[in-house]
Structure 1
């Protein structure tokens, strides 16, 4: 197999999201009509815009109390802590309920829109009627919603009940139904599906660097990702399939992801590897993880 070129990809269709600027370990972002300032450990360079411009534009800023928690400071008192945004590409349209959480997230990772486009376009090419898609470490369900909206029979797996409930809310406001919700440790679920003889046409993995299952199972990316990849490819339909592996870890490169995929699935075809990034309006590019993906079509 020829070596895949390393790519850099940024979302194309986001109208309800904009990275305005980033630097000095922060990012200035617009979600719908709200502009937020949030911490960003990758932004080690200087801001492109002045501090005065950041202060003028933003509505809400996250101030950390520790490495894992903090509070949102509103410039105006009447700004809601929950709101909706839309994502639309040529194939599908979905909606998200966003919220200001105590751990700086709002319920969506905008750079993942590149993968959503890949999912919907691939499903539309499949000849299989109602292809089966498995989304692991699925968070609030962006990839699950896209797969379902594109016509897939979708299973969504995450270990945290609250985010699965959040994902279900996103399904409802997107006018979708019948996603299968599973609150379980992802690796245990995969191993059980292998024993059941199940197969999937699409598998999506976006594992965290660290995590815990609902029964206290420990997940550490570098310790367990090889076992996960070795197991999960056993669930791929041999005829029509796609797989996406996305990692957000400062220690992971696209070559590591390539080696994991080719080691677990030597017969891989149409492999793409690279880096996801967001292009700020100020002209700065913000790297936000590496990916590997392949499909049969």
Structure 2
């Protein structure tokens, strides 16, 4: 019996100088973002911590404390010397990006460090596509604070950045300006609504990036539920993707999704794709424990 499934890959960023996962366990993670060390909840860290609780308390400058009635929200407890906003860089031989970080009530800080492996991939694919064509248009859906948008723009693409939260778009714009970039097209809208309109208009993109949440709300309150809508979204993206020259990245952070589900979704909507890669993104802590942080699938004609 022939196996048509791509080999599973495990990918982790290896060039982050300003980010470090120091320890993980006990449903928490201890991270260094630039000069600041934070302790945050992490539902996938089901094992024991390697450092003692006392050592975590000593090292961290900020601790996220969950609300009892709403585990998704909470408050930050700050030590002296901790700031609420700061900047950090991601720099490789291909990319030089700057991000504003801030402490949010949803435990996020404005960046998902594991996504750096996709930024590198985006930069590589955009540059390869530009060797064959002067025009490379990239669509970034559920784009958050824009790491993927910045990578595509810095590599030379025309970028359309779609997110339903106006404040997040403003945050992305700050990141763009801090990275000495300009002319990203900002769209504050529900991703599904925007994609349907683009299909009706007959528009196409050489690159599509999707990093959808498990649950979300559109700009006008539209409901997004990953398992109910991702199949329709990919059907629409198939119509938007340039059939000759392209790349696509799908990243999913949901406890219920495996690589096999994502593989089935891609193959049923795109058929046979070129240069497929799939697997898990993870971060390695200082004690060599691997923290899984999402399932990915990506493919490209270059």
Cα deviations across residues 207-257 of structure 1 (Å, max 9, x unaligned)? Answer: 000011111111000000000001111111112100000000000000100
1:126-205 correspondence to structure 2 within 5 Å: 126=129, 127-205=132-210
State which of 16, 19, 26 in structure 2 corresponds to 1:17. 19
The CA deviation at 1:64 is 1.0
Question: In 1, are the aligned partners of 2:163 and 2:188 still within 8 Å (CA)?
Answer: yes
Q: Matched residues in 1 for 2:37 and 2:26: separation? A: 17
Q: Matched residues in 2 for 1:130 and 1:102: separation? A: 40
TM-score normalised to the size of structure 1? 0.98
The CA deviation at 1:74 is 1.4
Question: In 1, are the aligned partners of 2:90 and 2:97 still within 8 Å (CA)?
Answer: yes
The CA deviation at 1:2 is 4.3
- Secondary structure of the equivalent of 1:80? coil
Q: Matched residues in 2 for 1:133 and 1:142: separation? A: 13
Partner residue, 1:232: 237
* Runs of 4+ with >6 A deviation: none
Question: In 1, are the aligned partners of 2:5 and 2:263 still within 8 Å (CA)?
Answer: no
- Secondary structure of the equivalent of 1:239? coil
Aligned residues: 296
State which of 46, 49, 61 in structure 1 corresponds to 2:51. 49
State which of 45, 68, 74 in structure 2 corresponds to 1:70. 74
Q: CA RMSD in A?
A: 1.0
Q: Matched residues in 2 for 1:130 and 1:59: separation? A: 46
State which of 231, 244, 262 in structure 1 corresponds to 2:249. 244
TM-score normalised to the size of structure 2? 0.96
Q: Matched residues in 2 for 1:103 and 1:288: separation? A: 17
- Secondary structure of the equivalent of 2:156? coil
Specify every segment of 5 or more residues in structure 2 that has no aligned partner in the other structure, as ranges.
Answer: none
Partner residue, 1:83: 86
Q: Matched residues in 2 for 1:246 and 1:72: separation? A: 28
- Secondary structure of the equivalent of 1:257? helix
Partner residue, 2:95: 92
